[in-house]
């Protein structure tokens, strides 16, 4: 179980590297004017999303394996999994935004993307408190 949890935490941390960095690229893309800069950011967005998606899947798979394989229970796990479901939706929405930027169809401001960028930070804080403290 400890090996599985170690890999779970590894995949979680790697997933969050992408969830923190990709929206930051969106902030820069929403401010960019030069087409050479925009083309470079499109390439970075596409490659990063493609790289971090399987890692996110492995974070969820190892979490579910821990849950169902080792009999963890508790309200903390239900709320944690609900928050993680929201995180998966956030991830998929980032995938949609990669396509919107690739087609030069973005209409949102860089300010909007700065707030959007903070969502994973708040989810991470809540999930880590739930899984370590297990308050209920």
Which residues would be at the binding site for ligand HEM (CB under 6 A)?
A: 5, 8-9, 12, 59-60, 63-64, 66-67, 72, 77, 81, 84, 87, 124, 127-128, 131-132
Please identify, using beta-carbon distances, which residue of 82 and 109 lies nearer to ligand HEM.
82
In whole angstroms, how close is the CB of 112 to ligand HEM at the nearest point? 24
Phi first, then psi: what are they for 31, rounded to 5°? -95, -15
Q: In Å, what is the CA distance from 14 to each residue of 45, 65, 86, 111, 135? A: 16, 18, 18, 26, 26
Residue 101 token pair: 């930027």
In whole angstroms, how close is the CB of 5 to ligand HEM at the nearest point? 5
Please identify, using beta-carbon distances, which residue of 67 and 116 lies nearer to ligand HEM.
67
Residue 13 neighbours by CB distance under 10 Å? 12
Residue 54 token pair: 């399987």
Please identify, using beta-carbon distances, which residue of 69 and 100 lies nearer to ligand HEM.
69
């Amino acid at each position: 179980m400890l090996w599985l949890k170690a890999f779970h935490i590894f995949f979680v941390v790697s997933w969050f590297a992408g969830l923190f960095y990709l929206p930051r690229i969106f902030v820069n893309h929403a401010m960019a004017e030069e087409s050479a800069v925009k083309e470079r950011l499109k390439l970075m967005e596409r490659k990063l999303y493609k790289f971090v998606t399987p890692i996110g899947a492995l974070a969820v798979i190892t979490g579910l394996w821990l849950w169902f394989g080792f009999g963890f229970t508790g309200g903390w796990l239900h709320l944690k999994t609900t928050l993680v479901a929201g995180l998966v939706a956030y991830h998929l929405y980032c995938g949609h935004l990669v396509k919107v930027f690739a087609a030069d169809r973005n209409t949102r401001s860089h300010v909007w993307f700065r707030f959007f960028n903070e969502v994973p930070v708040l989810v991470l804080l809540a999930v880590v408190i739930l899984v370590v403290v297990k308050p209920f």
